[in-house]
Amino acid sequence: MISYKELGLVNSREMFKKAIAGQYAIAAFNFNNMEQLQAIIQAAVETRSPVILQVSSGARKYANQTLLRYMAQGAVEYAKELGLEHPQIVLHLDHGDTFELCKSCIDMGFSSVMIDGSHHPYEDNVALTRKVVDYAHKYDVTVEGELGVLAGVEDEVSSAVSHYTRPDEVVDFVTRTGVDSLAISIGTSHGANKFTPEQCTRDANGVLIPPPLRFDILEEIEKRIPGFPIVLHGSSSVPQDLVAIINKYGGAMKDSIGIPEEQLRRAAKSAVCKINIDSDGRIAMTAAVRQVLATKPAEFDPRKYLGPARDSLKELYKHKLINVLGSANEL
């Protein structure tokens, strides 16, 4: 058993409380490798933002759980080396689907876990989530539950259809499970193709315009559980300039569309205190790698294309922290 506190990490409890009071949201950036982690920490330090390092089940398998533990510890020390004396960094499991997976992450030093039982019948979701909460809270690890189902595909999480969160269920769910935060479904979606063309309209230039988020559902949930930490998954904006670079240099990302940033900023001013961003990071890195390899075909040093990819990712994340989530200068 390794406590996250030994690694210099924090859980999300106080972080979320401050975010709700300050009307901003904490970024949860997914990572799989060193360059992504460097970009996240550099962006957090340069903007003086708290941050959540988010790891999916697939990323955990890819990077190895032992390496992840030391990478997280290294991230804390790296942030201090860059000049942030008291970094606020959470290591969070994204979309844990079993008690065993959540327990393993807690035992390996994660400071926060998500148990996603939303694909189960309601009572089974409650029971599974409660079981994880009971174990996690013994070690002061925070737990995120989920009500509602997001459409789309990302890593090992997929659903063909979305089911909006039912406000009538939220009081019962958070009371019986004891979760510390709740992921809801109000129209966001996983992946880079969050909506079909049929779900969107097109502007004068033929660019897809996605349907608006269901803020009416969010507002009703806030009335039912005032001040309770709310989480949005599937919240990448899919920057069209980066998609254009990918497609220019051999990519085939057709009709890729995300969540408009102004809608995410509006959400961040509410009880939404954690916003998950994964696809945008993948797109930023892929665009930079494709551009280098296409314009410098003789290049074979990974540092020469992964370095620009890391720099592009850092700039994207700084933009998100400052202009979208509003968490800059909160440390």
Question: Is 239 among the domain residues?
Answer: yes
Average pLDDT over residues 213-236: 94
The set of residues, in sequence order, having a beta carbon less than 8 Å from that of 21 and lying 6+ positions away, is none
pLDDT, residue 153, reads 44
**Identity at 112, one-letter amino acid code:** S
Question: Is 154 among the domain residues?
Answer: yes
202: confidence class by pLDDT, cuts 50, 70, 90: confident
CATH classification at residue 249: 3.20.20.70
Question: Is 330 among the domain residues?
Answer: no
Total domains present in the chain = 1
Domain boundaries, position 97: 4-324
Question: Is 331 among the domain residues?
Answer: no
* 257 within 8 A of 195, measured Cβ to Cβ: yes
Question: Is 21 among the domain residues?
Answer: yes
pLDDT in tens, 233-284: 988 899 999 999 999 999 999 888 889 999 999 999 999 999 999 999 999 9
d(CA 87, CA 50): 7
Residues known to be catalytic: 94
pLDDT, residue 239, reads 94
Question: Is 329 among the domain residues?
Answer: no
Cα–Cα distances (Å) from 142 to 11, 18, 136, 181, in that order, read 6, 15, 7, 8
Q: Which two tokens stand for residue 37?
A: 């982690």
Question: Is 87 among the domain residues?
Answer: yes
Length of the chain (residues): 331
**N-to-C CA span, the chain:** 30
Q: Please give the mean pLDDT across all residues of the chain.
A: 93
162: confidence class by pLDDT, cuts 50, 70, 90: low
pLDDT, residue 150, reads 64
Cα–Cα distances (Å) from 248 to 86, 214, 283, 304, in that order, read 42, 34, 13, 20
Question: Is 273 among the domain residues?
Answer: yes
* pLDDT higher than 50, residue 158: no
